[in-house]
Amino acid sequence: MTTYVPVAETEARQEPGAPHYLNVTHGFRSWALTLDHKRIGLMYLIGTVASFLIGGLLALLIRVHLWKPEGAIFDPELYNQVFTLHGVFMVFFFIIPAIPAALGNFVLPMMLGAKDVALPRLNLASFYLWLCGLVLATIAIIFGGVDTGWTFYTPYSIQTPTAVIWMGLGIFMVGFSSIFTGLNFVVTTHKLRAPGLTWFRMPLFIWAVYSTSLLQILATPVLGITLLLLVFERVYGIGIFDPKMGGDPVLFQHFFWFYSHPAVYIMILPAMGVISEVISVHCRKPVFGYRMVAFSSLAIAVISFLVWGHHMFTSGQSEWAMMAFSFLTFFVGIPSAIKEFNWVATVWQGSVALTTPMLYALVFLIIFAIGGLTGIFLATLSVNIHLHMTYYVVAHFHYVMMGSTAIAFFAGVHHWWPKMFGVMYSEAWAKLSCLLIFVGFNLTFLPQFIMGSQGQIRRYATYLERWTPYHQASTVGAVILGVGFAIMVAYLLHSLLGVRKARRNEWGGVTLEWDSPSPPPLENFERPPVVTREVYDYSVLNPKS
């Protein structure tokens, strides 16, 4: 056993023909039945990015449709289906699994110095559960789509003739896939850390994914039973959520948001972990206030269970409950702000390398600040009544989900791409695409804040003449955003040709995954790693200074 010293090997490139996880075995079966966390992560990466592209295409269609006040493409029924599918694909098939299941699967065991996750078979099973969910969702689209919105509120979801049952079962499966992934990561973090890797030497990405996993384990089962009851409701008419049969639809909303508010943090927490890693590596500095950032992840996880009622301020919930929920919601701002300030403090006086991952991280810092601050207005009970169901809400959660989580996902993809495939992409094209995405994103959603605050209601296929300029600006932004992503797909695929080989430690990181060749061998490390230094100790890279 040797102690981890990456200095000498920073520059080393993988020997041509050396065995690594991509070429060690061949053929369809070697992938379909693989138990290697890296291959499973890669399959998730392909699956989630494909879902993202489908969801993105639907979003573009929505924006093009809204070019004209009377709507350009769809009749209203079809429009309802398109925005529902956009939401379902983006939330359940892209954002929730993207960072934990795709990047986390690849990176987390390596960061821990483990050979694999604790339960490799369960890991593969989760992937197939996710795939089955995707198949059921596709069946739902074939059997008439779904037009309830991604929230499936009763009683409409009981009455609509569309394929709610198929979609409900699909999301039930995706939910259990998410539970099993989270369970696997918690066990791996507890049981498979390398010798010397104490809890406070763990990279912040691990802390974030660990907190996310706790949320997945504790919140998702309630979504599971809720969707199951909804399916029973439609098949048997059990009446629990059906007002015609004595049920209370508000109870459905309670159950749904008991999961779906924590789910917002299932989406954002791993993104925060990625940002911590990227900022630290590309600024060559330990993350400022490491322990505070680590604990704030856990704090967010716990607080997120106390606030779900803020989605129900116009549902007929009791006033006392609403006051409690509004009050508690403000507390989420504290750990989120701790993180934001600590990241900024990390960048300050760091030796910032403006690489593509770092650019995405900076975009994240700006957009997350806007997304977080606009949430404070929505948390305020009285203001919420005014803003409820408007484009303001749409803009707010897109700033958090798309502008923060998806951006952080792409920061992570660019950060770990050289490690995953042993190749580097074109930085010039990558920076251009990042710029387009930044401009396009803000142009799409800033106008929505404005028209939302003035009362433009969401989820309608048509709108009043007076909103035309805002909607058209938003559509132009969406097209720019689409071009940005098209460029990204092109240069990433091109990089796989292997024109530029990546170095072993492409960015000069000091977490354990960089102590392995690019791409890594089957069991991750040439020698079992032993950790002897504190986390983010960059002095190891240039011992002379």
Partner 1 sequence: MSAHSAHAEAHGHAPGAPVLVTHHHVSTVAILTKVFLTLVILTIITVGVSQVDFGSANMVIAMLVAAVKAALVMTFFMHLRYDTAINNIFILSSFAFLALLFVFTLTDFSTRKAVNPIHAKRAPIAEPDTHYLWKTPRTKEHKHE
Partner 2 sequence: MHTPQEAGGHGAGHDAHHHGVVVPAPPGFVPHVVAHHFDTAEAEFSADKLAMWLFLATEVLLFGGLFAAYFYYHGVYPETFKVGGHQLNWRLGALNTLILLFSSYTMAMGVRAAQLSQKALMQKMLGITVLCGLGFLVVKYFEYAAKVSHGLVPARWFSDHDHVMAGVENGHLFFNFYWTMTAIHGLHVLIGMLLILWVMKGGAKGRFYGGYYLPVDLVGLYWHLVDLIWIFLFPLLYLVP
Q: Which of 398, 407, 459, 464 is nearest to 437 (CA)?
A: 407
Q: Token digits for 532? A: 């002897």
Q: Which of 37, 39, 234, 261 binds Cu ion (CB under 5 A)?
A: 261
- Burial level of 4, CB count in 10 A (0-12/13-18/19+)? buried
Inter-axis angle of helices 120-142 and 164-191, to 10 degrees? 160
DSSP-assigned letters across all residues of 346-411: HHTTS-----HHHHHHHHHHHHHHHHHHHHHHHHSHHHHHHHTTBHHHHHHHHHHIIIIIIHHHHH
Stretch that binds partner 2, among 2-10, 125-133, 221-229, 431-439 (CB under 8 A): 221-229
* Nearer residue to partner 1 within complex by CB, 214 or 361: 214
- By CB under 8 A, residue 246 contacts partner 1: yes
- By CB under 8 A, residue 385 contacts partner 1: no
- By CB under 5 A, residue 396 contacts Cu ion: no
Stretch that binds Cu ion, among 256-264, 332-340, 379-387, 449-457 (CB under 5 A): 256-264
Residue 235 neighbours by CB distance under 10 Å:
9
Collapsing DSSP to helix, strand or coil, 202 comes out as coil
Contact 86, 98 (CB under 8 A): no
- By CB under 8 A, residue 184 contacts partner 2: yes
Stretch that binds partner 1, among 114-122, 232-240, 370-378, 422-430 (CB under 8 A): 232-240
Contact 31, 522 (CB under 8 A): no
Report the C-alpha gap between 245 and 197 in whole angstroms.
Answer: 57
* Nearer residue to partner 2 within complex by CB, 333 or 521: 521
* Nearer residue to Cu ion within complex by CB, 292 or 337: 337
Partner whose footprint covers residue 318, from Cu ion, partner 2, partner 1, none (CB < 5 to 8 Å by kind): partner 1
To partner 1, the closest distance from the beta carbon of 512 in angstroms equals 23
Residue type, 391: Y
To partner 2, the closest distance from the beta carbon of 196 in angstroms equals 14
Q: Which of 229, 231, 293, 347 binds partner 2 (CB under 8 A)?
A: 229
Contact 330, 306 (CB under 8 A): no
- By CB under 8 A, residue 19 contacts partner 1: no
Contact 121, 60 (CB under 8 A): no
Partner whose footprint covers residue 324, from partner 1, Cu ion, partner 2, none (CB < 5 to 8 Å by kind): partner 1
Binding site for Cu ion (CB under 5 A): 261
Binding site for partner 2 (CB under 8 A): 24-25, 30, 34-36, 114-116, 118-120, 122, 179, 183-184, 186-188, 190-192, 217-222, 224-226, 228-229, 232, 236-240, 245-248, 251, 255, 522-523
